[in-house]
């Protein structure tokens, strides 16, 4: 399997970020790590291995990146405005700097975005804020309401990073709604251990998307399906074959 480890400089954040690429042909897929995770988690926990036949056949290539969760979502004792301002800079780095480079490196724009847990949250936020950048969303065990991390605090940037808020209030004639309808939207969560706090937000997303007439596959797996890598391996294999 072709692999490449690199560093990329972010002008928005003024520092370098590490990432790893797996494969050099096929549909590009941007992968976010779980909460406080790193770019190598997808390999460490056998997600790359789970998708290896697609990569080796030239049907799929992964770009696994870092987040800054420990400075933003996870820093519950930090100043909330400063936390979300930093998160917004990371969002702009991804949407305005890194993703255009994926287009350049691959010569393709049919981009998939995915992640597990907080990575699923990042994938969902990025997709719903910038549907023009992606063809497909596969969000596994994500959170879509920032109150889990910011409590009762709300400002314009927290709102912008809260799909359950900005989607619910999106005007019916907003051009993003037509863009969403042209995409593959997959949201999946189990109903077993450690998924309990996330299920209400996933159900709310299902309701909102239906109200907006946006086709989406919101899939609630069984009560034996827990918030862990062994199930995310099964899920990513199941859904990826549907979109390649």
Question: What's the fold here for domain 3-243?
Answer: Rossmann fold (3.40.50)
Backbone angles phi, psi at 99, to 5 degrees: -60, -45
Backbone angles phi, psi at 69, to 5 degrees: -55, -40
Alpha-helical (H) ranges within 51-150 are 52-56, 80-92, 99-106, 118-129, 147-150
CA pair distance 201, 198, nearest whole angstrom: 6
The pTM of this model reads 0.97
Mean pLDDT to the nearest integer, 101-108:
98
Quick: pLDDT tens for 141-194.
999 999 999 999 999 999 999 999 999 999 999 999 999 999 999 999 999 999
Confidence band, pLDDT 50/70/90 cuts, at residue 199: very high
pLDDT at 244: 96
Q: Which two tokens stand for residue 134?
A: 């992606």
Mean pLDDT to the nearest integer, 107-119:
98
pLDDT at 187: 99
pLDDT at 31: 99
Quick: pLDDT tens for 211-238.
999 999 999 999 999 999 999 999 999 9
pLDDT at 124: 99
pLDDT at 188: 99
pLDDT at 180: 99
CA pair distance 115, 232, nearest whole angstrom: 9
Quick: pLDDT tens for 61-70.
999 999 999 9
């Amino acid at each position: 399997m072709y692999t490449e480890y690199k560093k990329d400089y972010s002008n928005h954040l003024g520092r370098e970020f590490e990432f790893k690429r797996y494969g050099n042909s096929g549909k590009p897929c941007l992968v976010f790590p779980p909460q406080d995770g790193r770019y190598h988690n997808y390999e460490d926990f056998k997600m790359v291995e789970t998708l290896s036949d697609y990569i080796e056949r030239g049907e799929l290539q992964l770009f696994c990146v870092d987040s800054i969760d420990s400075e933003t979502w996870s820093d519950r004792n930090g100043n909330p405005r400063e936390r979300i301002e930093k998160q917004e800079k990371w969002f702009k780095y991804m949407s305005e700097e890194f993703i255009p480079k994926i287009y350049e490196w691959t010569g393709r724009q049919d981009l998939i975005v995915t992640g597990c847990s907080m990575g699923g949250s990042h994938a969902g936020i990025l997709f719903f804020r910038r549907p023009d950048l992606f063809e497909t969303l596969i969000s596994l065990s994500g959170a879509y309401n920032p109150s889990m991390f910011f409590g009762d605090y709300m400002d314009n940037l927290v709102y912008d990073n809260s799909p359950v808020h900005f989607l619910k209030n999106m005007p019916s004639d907003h051009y993003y709604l037509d863009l969403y309808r042209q995409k593959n939207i997959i949201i999946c969560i189990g109903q077993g251990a450690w998924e309990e706090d996330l299920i209400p937000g996933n159900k709310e997303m299902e309701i909102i998307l239906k109200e907006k007439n946006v086709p989406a596959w919101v899939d609630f797996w069984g009560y034996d399906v827990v918030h862990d890598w062994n199930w995310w391996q099964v899920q990513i294999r199941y859904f990826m074959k549907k979109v390649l």
